[in-house]
Every structure is written in structure tokens, then in C-alpha cells.
Amino acid sequence: MKLFDVYPLFDITPVKAQGSWLWDNKGDRYLDLYGGHAVISIGHSHPHYVERLSEQLSKISFYSNSIKNPQQEELAEKLGNMSGYPDYQLFLCNSGAEANENALKLASFVTGKKKVIAFDKAFHGRTSGAVAATDNPKIVAPFNAGHEIVFCRLNDEQAFTEALDADVAAVIIEGIQGVGGIRMPNDSFLQFIDKKCKEKGCVLILDEIQCGYGRTGKFFAHQYAGIRPHIITTAKGMGNGFPVGGVLIHPDIKPWSGMLGTTFGGNYLAAVACLAVLEVMESEKLMNNTLSLGSQWIKEIQELVGRQNVRGRGLIIGFDLPDTKTTVRKDLLVKHRIFTGEAKPNTIRLLPSLALKAEEVDLFNEALKVELS
């Protein structure tokens, strides 16, 4: 059997990783400033993470959600306390798309409606169809034939107000758009949609899958705007590479047996991976590192490419390159052995580990200088 060829791959085969570094099968070392789409939050192969997962693997790795898993409860408590949402409820699943599917489903259960407002250049995942093909009225109502999505321009209060009619179940927005090119909703825009959703009785979903989990220096990006959405979705950095997703749910949304469900969600290994991430974030004060290092780095990149071309907060940073500089990402990788991400048409995306060091930032800045000269 061949692999289904859907990914444009770099011809690099990593065999080992530590902190912000990867080694390939030829012994070459690469600086990882992308973390496989913002996944590596505490650094590759962190010793505490490896120890916690290895220990759990030697005991029990999996049983379905039909029996108690105390580590899920421990995780919910720690995540609630560290994120500032101790009164919310946690539903665990396996990926970002699945977290968003469950969030939208909840919004429809709560409101009895299926219209959803999303924003231009948003990215919320790649699933569709599984629910629509499920014949179980208890699970799928009231959105059996799928949600109806309306797109608005980011930060356009008037367009949003016009779209927000009585049929809207939910508004879904990224705390900072990732795949869309590190585009930031204004704090005032987030406050505006939060207020409007509350007035209209529809559910505000904050997708924090790429920008959350400490990446901005606050636990969630939307916390800069001081809002408290009904639902927050998370994944990526949550497990530092272990596939896991989570939905944080307002206490007013009451669960009933069978309302949501998944086979693997919150299994023993996933729960321990998430706990280990939070433990390291706490003990190494990674959010402080993220904020101080990130703020300084943003200024340095602004000096290199122009203030107006740089966006981001903490360690989620994007910058646009001049139209003539079309090979910078490839050259950073091939000539300087530095992994970065991109967004179309010509934006570099930086999503390194929150444990990044100042000397690693310097290496990148030097390489970028060379490529821009």
C-alpha cells in the first residue's frame, strides 16, 4: 500500500528531537521554530513528559470512557485553575477539528438552531459529514443536515451585526487566526461580539487551538480582551505532540448522558500527556518566558521587515515578506536548517516551543538578515 499523497513534504527525515532541536537521519541538526503546526509547547522530548508517559504506558494506556479515569479529573482541575476557568467543564476528544465539531454541536443543542457565523480566512478543521450520516435523532438534532455557515469580515462590527439574526446558534472565532496568516481580532471586536452574543442568546466559541495554551503569554489569546466565552476549544500544544483536543464548557451548559462522546478522547496516555504539559508550563514558568521573549522578538523582526508587516503576541508571530522574496522559508530550511511555517501568499509563521531560548532567537534573526540582504 502507498501513502495517500496529500502532503507537500520536505525531504528531511527526523530521527531525534530535544528542546527546540531536531536531528535527521544524516546527523544534521535543525532549529524547530514551527513545532509541527504549534504542537510542541514544552519542547521536544522533555524529560518530565517522557517519564510521565513512559510510566503510564507501563501501567495502562487505554480503556474506553465507560470506566472512571481519575487522571481526567485531575487534568480538568489543573487546567481549570491554570487557565482561569475553574468553574467550566471539560470534554476531551482527539483533535482540533473534533473539538470544534463538538463545540458547534453543543451550541445547536443549547439554542435549537444551526446557523453559525465565522470569519474570513478562518480555519477550524477539516471534518464534515460524519454527523450528517448518523441516524440517531438524540445525537444529531437539531442540525441533522449540517450547520449553515455565514462568513463575516474580521473586525467588521457592522457586517457582524447584520449577520447576527435570530437564527444564529453560534459565533466561532480564533483568538488569533493561525492558518489565515496570524491575523488578530481587535480586543474591542472580541468585546463587541461577546456582548452581542450575550444579548441575542447565541453561543460564542473561541477557537484557541493554535493560539491558546500559553502561546500568547496568557493562557488563552482572548483573555487579552477580558471576555469569557461560553465555549473554548483547544488541541495542538495541549499534549505536546500527543493527539488530544478539549472543549471548555460554561457551567450553564448542562450535560446529559450521551450528548457528546468519543472512543479515544481523554484516554490514560492523553490525560497524562496533558498533565505533564501543564506541570512543565507551571514549574518552568513558560508563559512568562513566552511573553518576555516573544515581545522582544516581535520588535526585532519589526526592525528587519518593517513594523507594519509583523503581527502576533508572545510566541505566535507572523510577518509578511516583500513580493520579491519568495524563497525565504525554503532558504531558511535548506541553507540555515531552521524550520518555520508559512501562510499564503508570502507570510512566515513562527510557532516555536514556549521554552525557546534567547540564543535560538538570535540564530533565526541572523539567518533572516542574510536572506533579506
Ligand X SMILES: Cc1ncc(COP(=O)(O)O)c(C=O)c1O
Residues of this chain that interact with ligand X (CB under 6 A) are 37, 95-97, 100, 123-125, 174, 178-179, 207, 209-210, 235
The CA distance from 99 to 104, in Å, is 9
Smaller CB separation from ligand X, 33 or 305: 33
CA-closest candidate to residue 287, choices 352, 354, 240, 241: 354
Closer Cβ to ligand X, 125 or 331, answer by number: 125
User: Closer to ligand X at the Cβ: 203 or 368?
Assistant: 203
CB of 316 to ligand X, least distance (A): 10
Nearer to ligand X, 173 or 305 (CB): 173
CB of 134 to ligand X, least distance (A): 19
- Give the bridge partners for 18, in sequence order: 21
State the nearest-atom distance from the C-beta of 127 to ligand X, in Å: 7
C-alpha cell at position 77:
482541575
In DSSP notation, 69-119 reads -HHHHHHHHHHHHHHT-TTSEEEEESSHHHHHHHHHHHHHHHHS--EEEEE
Q: How far is the CB of 204 from ligand X (least distance, A)?
A: 15
User: Which residue number, 99 or 275, has a Cβ lying nearer to ligand X?
Assistant: 99
Give the whole-angstrom CA distance, residue 44 versus residue 32.
9
* H helix or E strand, kind and range, residue 22: strand 21-24
CB of 87 to ligand X, least distance (A): 24
Grid cell digits, residue 242: 500527543
Q: Do the bridges between strand 347-350 and strand 341-343 make them parallel or antiparallel, or are there none, so unpaired?
A: antiparallel
